[in-house]
Structure 1
Amino acid sequence: MAETPSNMLPLGTKAHDFKLLDTVSGKKLTLDDCKGLEGTVIMFICNHCPFVIHVNSKLVQLAKDFKSKGINFVAISSNDIENYPQDGPEFMKKRAIDEGYIFPYIFDQTQEVAKAYNAACTPDFYVFDSHLELVYRGQLDDSRPGNDVPVTGEDLSNALNALLHNMPIPQYQKPSIGCNIKWRPNKQK
């Protein structure tokens, strides 16, 4: 399993708007529909990545823990479904229901949103404050499939708690590690 790190979008970057299909509700959602009053976590994930599968239950738990505090989560899958059909919308909906996602699981068919966020891997995490400015991008925690480190969500939850308590979020942030986003091949005419 190849390990790809986050590209580490510059802190302070404004969140890029989108209008994408939520695979569970069947509705097109925008950033404004998904954002939280106090902050927003945008995650690039997919169905088949072992790094995402490894942390799925913790993502659900964190989303539940922070929703009542004004932090909303949204998951985006941008993988090429022609070569990775298991990451298609119908399978995304099933995964969201099976895992108990309380957040939208939206499909970036054109991959333009992943490009706008400079996303590189799954999972890739971005935390935006109430003004939709990036305050954290990096790993969930130090756990990886097979490294025997427990999944705690420590890095992400520490950033969210700091945001909620108006405390500084450390500038040094460890990149997330995961499978590379499966980019569609350029089909030039």
Structure 2
Amino acid sequence: MSLTPSNTIALGTEAPDFKLMDTITDHLITLEEVKGERGTVIMFICNHCPFVKHVNEEMVHIANEYRQLGFGFAGIMSNDIKKYPQDSPEMMKEHAAKHQYSFPYLFDGTQEIAKAYDAACTPDFYLFDAELKLIYHGQLDDSRPGNGIHSNGRDLREAMDAVLNNRKVNEDQKPSIGCNIKWRE
């Protein structure tokens, strides 16, 4: 497993727009359709990465819990599917059903959206406020495969809880760490 940290992105950066195929519904989905009243979480994830597998269950819990509180969620998969066919749209659909994703699981086949977000790894978590300005970009929590820490989503939850309680999100944010995005050559 390679350890790739997320890139540092300036807080306040506006969320890049997108229109991507949702592999669950086979419909094109835009950022505006994903946007939540209180905030929006964009997650760069994939099927095969052990770091994503490690936090999958907690990601689903967070999405189910916080969607009801006014947050929108989307997972985006940007890996090169020629080299990683287990991340193909067909496999994404199966993966989403198996893990009961309650959020769109979008296919970024051109990798343009990953580049627009400056995504580096899977998983890579972005939280935008109601105006789609970046307020959190970092890890889900301190758990990693094999480190003995149970995934609880603490870091992302604390950022969303700050929004819910009209508090400023802590700017001391730990980068996510995971597998690098599998870029096409």
Same fold (TM over 0.5): yes
User: Which residue matches 1:133?
Assistant: 133
Q: Secondary structure, in 3 states, of the residue corresponding to 2:90?
A: helix
Supply the distance in 1 between the matched residues of 2:184 and 2:2 (Cα, whole angstroms).
Answer: 18
Supply the distance in 2 between the matched residues of 1:37 and 1:168 (Cα, whole angstroms).
Answer: 17
Q: Structure 1, unaligned stretches of length 5 or more?
A: none
Q: Structure 2, unaligned stretches of length 5 or more?
A: none
Which amino acid letter does the alignment assign opposite residue 97 of structure 1? A
Q: Secondary structure, in 3 states, of the residue corresponding to 1:184?
A: coil
Matched, 1:74 2:57: no
Q: Secondary structure, in 3 states, of the residue corresponding to 2:48?
A: coil
Supply the distance in 2 between the matched residues of 1:34 and 1:8 (Cα, whole angstroms).
Answer: 24
Q: TM-score, normalised by structure 2?
A: 0.99
Supply the distance in 2 between the matched residues of 1:22 and 1:150 (Cα, whole angstroms).
Answer: 30
Q: Which runs of 4+ in 1 moved over 6 A?
A: none
Q: Secondary structure, in 3 states, of the residue corresponding to 1:53?
A: helix
Supply the distance in 2 between the matched residues of 1:30 and 1:44 (Cα, whole angstroms).
Answer: 15
User: Which residue matches 1:54?
Assistant: 54
| Cα distance per residue 1:36-84 (max 9 Å; x no partner) | 1110000000000000000000000000110110001100000000100
Matches within 5 A, 1:31-180: 31-180=31-180
Supply the distance in 1 between the matched residues of 2:35 and 2:67 (Cα, whole angstroms).
Answer: 11
Q: How high is the sequence identity, in percent, across the aligned residues?
A: 59
Q: Secondary structure, in 3 states, of the residue corresponding to 2:93?
A: helix
Supply the distance in 2 between the matched residues of 1:56 and 1:145 (Cα, whole angstroms).
Answer: 12
